[in-house]
Amino acid sequence: MRISYEWLGDFLDLDGVTPKAAAEVLTRLGIEVESLLIVDLSAIVIGKVLEQKPHPKSRNPLWIHQVDLGDHVQQIIAGAPNAVPGSLVPVALPGTTVPNGKIVKDMNIAGFKASGMLCSASELTLGEDHSGILILDRGTPGEPLTTVIPNQAIMEAEITSNRPDEMGHLGVARELAAGLDRPLKRDFMPAFTGTADPPGRDLVKVSIDDPDLCSRYIGGVIKSVRVGPSPDWMQRRLRACDVRPINNIVDITNYVLLEYAQPLHAFDLAKLNGPAIHVRRAREGEKLLCLDGEVRQLTPDMLVIADALRPVAIAGVIGGEETAVTGATVDILLESATFNGPSVRQTSRALGLRTEASARFERALPPELALAGARRAASLIAELAGGSVHREWADVYPRPQEPVRVNLRPALIDEVLGTHVPLEEAESILKRLNFHVKVMGDGEWDVLPPVFRLDVSIPEDLVEEVGRVYGYDRVPPTLPGRRRDRWTPAAPSMDRRLDAVREVLAGAGFTETWNPALVSGRKLEDLRIAAHAMRIENPLSDDMNTLRTSLLPSLLDAIALNRDRGEIVVSIYEIASVFLAKVGDRPTQPDEPLRLGVAFTVLQGSDTGRFGFYHAKTVLDACVASLAAPPPTYDRASTDLFHPGRCAAVVMDGKQLGYLGEVHPTVTAGARLDGRVVAFEIDVEAVLAASRVSRAQPLPRFPGVERDLAVVVEDTVAAGAILATVKESAGDLLEQARAFDEYRGAQVPEGHKSVAFTLTFRSPERTLTDAEVDRVMAEIKLGLEKRHSARFRE
Amino acid sequence: MSDPSALTSEALAAIGKAQTEHDLERIEVEYLGRKSGRVSKLLEGIGKLGAEEKAALGKAVNDAKRAVEGALAGRRAELEASRLADLAETEAIDITFPGPALGRGHIHVLTQVRRQIETVLESLGYQVELGPEVETEWYNFEALNITAGHPARENWDSFYFSPELLLRAHTSPVQIRAMQRIKEPPIYVITPGRSYRRDAPEATRLPYFSQVEGLAVDKGLTVGDMKGTLLYMIQSLYGRDRKVRVRPSYFPFTEPSFEFDVTCGICGGMGCKSCRHKGWLEVGGCGMVHPQVLRNGGVDPTQWSGYAWGFGIERMAMLKHDVDDIRLFYESDLRFLEQF
């Protein structure tokens, strides 16, 4: 909200309080001033236009003015035609910097001297209006502009949603007065009432269908108003708050909205059928031509103000054009009502229209405010538009505001804040904020919040009031601590345990990524992994409408992005949850398994890329080993995302953890990648669950013996099968067996391959002799011959 | 048969001239070889000599052997000393030539910052508590006092799967779950994790982000304790010269509620372009847990009180590492990720 410093000065004495100091006090109180715009008008003077003639030579229409500046007359050229002779205008002389940053210079425009500038409101940063020169309603030529318009300071502030009372200058001023400990010059409830006969309630009939949606409706009749422009000071304040002046009646309703935070509306009484006001839900098919010129289709969940025949306003949002106050209006009906917050918000959302009024109603206004706002507006109309205000307005108030009382044990203040606030000070703070405090016999306080503070209902709310005015910077920081007889032993978090995996992957050259969990559902369908996907009902866009069921598509996209930016070799991973919907009739919370996904590009030409696959196994084995879980096994498998000949299911303790393999060529192509990508994705919680504390093994006391063995078998025999036979045939002395090479070519028969192993033999009791190892080797060869028809290469 | 002393002189002369280890090895074999070395050969035919002559010859040969061995060792030492003395020239390399790339991977900057935050708070006795990202309406809103139609709801515009089920808009539901699980205070937990809000992506906000929230429930906790905890955390992460300020604000789940700010690291609180001349940078929200929220977590507010706070991990990382666009964290551009 925009707050005018000058306006605040109506309500409290700001002597010695600069705009900057006021902004700081407000921020400390909870009204966060985000920016402060100072408009310094000291260099601008007042001029009186004596003569205005069109520029004879200029291609664009320009006007040459002779301007009286008190002690001399100056020639000034302007593009706007509204500074007619007799107008008082703001003048910036050559050498002056105008508030909007423009520097004024002596100029010559097509043969005519131009010495200075006539300023618009926007050039003086007094508002958005740049359509013409700002015309002043008073002032003496030659005097500084500040004699009629004080220097401006506009604060842009954020008002929290619990404080609609602060959405008006009076509410902000009340806070500032409390913070500065200065008296507030204005009472909440104006004393003004109308006096004209007959009673207003006899002139218009008001009815409310649903008191839940409208708890109060005041309709005040004011007759014989003179519609015209509102005074300069009012227009200036409206502009400062980004509200466009229209005419005195409309301006007054907007002015009171910005002052009291009570939205108001003025109808042309002559245009209301009845005249009657019926607050009801819109009927199917009803429409309204609104004040902004748009016709809006209404639905029965919207609350409208109707006359005897038709809707004339959308409650709390916007008025209708046909019943609006115009220059021809004589009698008006002034509406000041209280509409239900959620209902106004719903309507405003459905219409895609947020107004100053709806922004206030949405936050739930107190019905007592409606009367205060109506009285204030009526008194201004009487004063500035000469209306005669009728007595005893229609005031339908089916749900009177219940007073709230809060019992406060004053010690709670110190207990919550953690510092000592003297009781007199706490009481004084509450009183400054218009709370009534009664100290009862038992020392407790019976506190009555002011009617405009619907947000206060529990003792803690009162502690907050005291705390923020007392000043939280006066509360010393402490750390909690006392003798405890209960505690929870420390345990490493899941993420810290997974740091072991991150270390392995960093060492192996893999960089961690964090990718969005929201992906395109269409894409998951194309990849055939959408069976358990959760779709969002109200997505921001189609490419973020579904929760991912796998990390791999994100990793492929990341590889593609880096490839597009020139990175050919990419090794990345992510640790994150995926989301798998449970099968059932109605949606429930999905499974959210935590996954480790790893993907990397395989360089072209490196032996049809099969070593990429083996590298992935090495990496996964190392990750698992870092968590001290048992080594996984790899079973040939087939699944949509992976290459049919290069895919393994990763299994641990009989449980499948996920898949490892080369990504299917159609999947890589779908991610706009050429070349091979190898990847794996596993459930890490299962690995963490299988993690054991590593136990130290005694170091071997006797030397081991290494032998190499090249086994020639048919192509179809898997290295894993050979290895199993080796282990089975070898007996206890074989410590380790590892395949290290696979060869096809001239030295082995067609349809065969040679697989080379390194075997390590060791006894815990003695040094093995060559003869002993030879015997075991012979057993191994025998086993391999029998089971795989193996031959051996030297 | 030659004379041992003449042979010794000859050997010593050869050793003195030797320039390399190779020369010395050749000389060693020539004179001291076990079978065919010239010194050993002096003993050929010793069997024919008388006892006295035998002893004299034996001694002479031994002396010769020792003399040659001593000379060899001496010359070796000389050669080694001279080699070492010349290293600066003989083995000089271009030390400005760069080392080969290490090829190591990088841990994501958000993981690093999250780890730092967790480590600092664990040192105060807080433990990590996790919860589901797809939450129920009750845990995400109702339990936190954000009832249907609450005007504050627009601050947590959310993604829905059904009227009852949504992506959590903050990690606060984990606070409720933690209270329900632990049941009996003291409770000191932090709840890091991903959260989601329906905000269009831009440089300062994303529809997905990561939060860390903290919750303390114990006897007699105060606003001062909350301030101290935040100050300890911020100074541990950013340095002891940082200050923290709490500003009154409003959240339905805390009373009183605050935003907390940290002094700008660039101007030290004086005001500069980077903090928009405020001197303070907004970090997160905090407050004393609302009695109703304690009740919703199964904790008796007449016995216990609590404070809670929350902030975005991305925000902390942006402040710490001068990152100016939040989208960089989730874009997976290695040129960004490899800077950390």
Given strand A676-683, what is the order of strands in its sheet? A511-512, A571-577, A594-602, A676-683, A655-663, A642-652, A633-636
CB contact under 8 A, B127 and A536: no
Q: Looking at the domain that runs over A494-690, which CATH code has it been given?
A: 3.30.930.10
> Which token pair is A237?
């304040």
Residue in A470, A453, A457, A456 with CA at minimum distance from that of residue A417: A470
Q: Is B226 exposed, middle or buried (0-12, 13-18, 19+ CB in 10 A)?
A: buried
> Which token pair is B241?
């010269």
- pLDDT tier at A607, thresholds 50, 70, 90: low
Q: Is A92 exposed, middle or buried (0-12, 13-18, 19+ CB in 10 A)?
A: buried
Interface check for B157 against chain A (CB to CB < 8 A): the answer is no
pLDDT at A4 over 90: yes
Model pLDDT, residue B59: 87
User: Model confidence over A151-165: pLDDT tens digits?
Assistant: 889 999 999 999 999
Interface check for A366 against chain B (CB to CB < 8 A): the answer is no
Q: Is the CB of residue A632 less than 8 Å from the CB of residue A620?
A: yes
Model pLDDT, residue B2: 66
Distance of CA A315 to the CA centre of its chain: 28
Contacts of A157 in chain B (CB under 8 A): none
Residue in A493, A503, A501, A427 with CA at minimum distance from that of residue A465: A427
Tell me the average pLDDT across A262-272. Answer: 96
A463: nearest CA partner in chain B: B256
Dist CA B287 CA A461 (whole Å): 12
- pLDDT tier at B88, thresholds 50, 70, 90: confident
Helix, strand, coil % (nearest 5) of chain B? 45, 20, 35
Interface check for B235 against chain A (CB to CB < 8 A): the answer is no
Model pLDDT, residue B56: 85
> Which token pair is A772?
């002993």
User: Model confidence over A495-532: pLDDT tens digits?
Assistant: 999 999 999 999 999 999 999 999 999 999 999 999 99
Tell me the average pLDDT across A558-569. Answer: 94
The SS3 of residue A491 is coil
For the ranges A90-94, A272-276, B24-28, B306-310, the maximum mean pLDDT occurs at B306-310
In CATH, the architecture of A406-474 is 2-Layer Sandwich (3.30)
Contacts of B130 in chain A (CB under 8 A): 493-494
Contacts of A478 in chain B (CB under 8 A): 222, 224-225, 227-228
Report cis status (omega within 30 of 0) of the bond before A764. no
Q: Is the CB of residue A214 less than 8 Å from the CB of residue A63?
A: no
User: Model confidence over A130-149: pLDDT tens digits?
Assistant: 778 999 888 999 999 988 88
What is the domain partition of chain A in residue ranges? 2-39+154-180, 45-150, 200-396, 406-474, 494-690, 705-793
pLDDT at A606 over 60: no
Q: Do domains A2-39+154-180 and A406-474 have the same CATH topology?
A: yes
User: Model confidence over B9-30: pLDDT tens digits?
Assistant: 888 899 999 899 899 999 999 9
- % of chain A beyond a pLDDT of 90: 82
Q: Which residue has the tokens 């598509």?
A: A553
Backbone angles phi, psi at A550, to 5 degrees: -155, 150
- pLDDT tier at A125, thresholds 50, 70, 90: confident
The ipTM value here is: 0.86
Interface check for B115 against chain A (CB to CB < 8 A): the answer is yes
- pLDDT tier at A373, thresholds 50, 70, 90: very high
CB contact under 8 A, A538 and B118: no
Interface check for B93 against chain A (CB to CB < 8 A): the answer is no
- List B residues 193-232 in contact with A (Cβ-Cβ < 8 A): 194, 196, 198, 200, 206-208, 210, 216, 218-225, 227-232
Contacts of A572 in chain B (CB under 8 A): 332, 334
Strands A205-208 and A318-319: unpaired
pLDDT at A437 over 90: yes
Bridge partners, residue A219, by sequence: A335, A394
Interface check for B138 against chain A (CB to CB < 8 A): the answer is no
Amino acid symbol at A481: G
CB contact under 8 A, B114 and A579: no
Tell me the average pLDDT across A352-375. Answer: 95
Tell me the average pLDDT across B118-128. Answer: 94
Tell me the average pLDDT across A463-483. Answer: 94
Model pLDDT, residue A486: 80
Decide which of A63 and B266 is more confident.
Answer: A63
Q: Is the CB of residue A338 less than 8 Å from the CB of residue A316?
A: no
Model pLDDT, residue A675: 87
Decide which of A197 and B155 is more confident.
Answer: A197
Question: Can you identify the CATH homologous superfamily of domain A45-150?
Answer: Nucleic acid-binding proteins (2.40.50.140)
> Which token pair is A480?
């909690």
- For the domain made up of A705-793, the CATH class stated in words is alpha beta
| Domain B109-337 bears CATH identifier 3.30.2350.10 | no
Tell me the average pLDDT across A239-247. Answer: 91
Stated length of chain A: 794
- pLDDT tier at A605, thresholds 50, 70, 90: low
Which residues, at least 6 apart from A95, have a Cβ–Cβ distance to it below 8 Å? A103, A104, A105
**Can you name the CATH fold of A2-39+154-180?**
Phenylalanyl-tRNA Synthetase; Chain B, domain 1 (3.30.56)
Decide which of B149 and B217 is more confident.
Answer: B217
Q: Is the CB of residue A730 less than 8 Å from the CB of residue A757?
A: no
Average pLDDT, chain A: 93
CB contact under 8 A, A418 and B338: no
Dist CA A2 CA B187 (whole Å): 42
Interface check for B118 against chain A (CB to CB < 8 A): the answer is yes
Residue B160 is inside which H or E element, if any?
strand B160-162
> Which token pair is B9?
């002189």
Contacts of A494 in chain B (CB under 8 A): 128, 130
- % of chain B beyond a pLDDT of 90: 68
- List A residues 533-562 in contact with B (Cβ-Cβ < 8 A): 534-540, 544, 547, 554, 557-558, 561-562
A775-794: b (≥16 Cβ within 10 Å) or e: ebbebbbebbeebbebbeee
Dist CA A575 CA A503 (whole Å): 13
Contacts of A342 in chain B (CB under 8 A): 148-149
What is the domain partition of chain B in residue ranges? 4-90, 109-337
Interface check for A116 against chain B (CB to CB < 8 A): the answer is no
Tell me the average pLDDT across A229-252. Answer: 92
Q: Which residue has the tokens 């104006």?
A: A190
Stated length of chain B: 340
CB contact under 8 A, B127 and A509: no
Interface check for B98 against chain A (CB to CB < 8 A): the answer is no
CB contact under 8 A, B249 and A160: yes
Q: Is A31 left (phi over 0), alpha (psi -120 to 50) or beta?
A: beta
Q: Is the CB of residue A255 less than 8 Å from the CB of residue A380?
A: yes
Residue in A650, A645, A682 with CA at minimum distance from that of residue A664: A645
Tell me the average pLDDT across B263-285. Answer: 86
Tell me the average pLDDT across A72-82. Answer: 91
Tell me the average pLDDT across A256-277. Answer: 96
pLDDT at A747 over 90: no
Contacts of B148 in chain A (CB under 8 A): 342
Of A419, A464, A565, the CB nearest to B255: A464
- pLDDT tier at B149, thresholds 50, 70, 90: confident
Q: Is the CB of residue A659 less than 8 Å from the CB of residue A680?
A: yes
In CATH, the architecture of A200-396 is 3-Layer(bba) Sandwich (3.50)
- pLDDT tier at A183, thresholds 50, 70, 90: very high
- Angle, nearest 10°, between helix axes B4-17 and B21-32? 170
Scanning B187-250, the segments in alpha helix (DSSP H) are 223-238
Model pLDDT, residue A101: 86
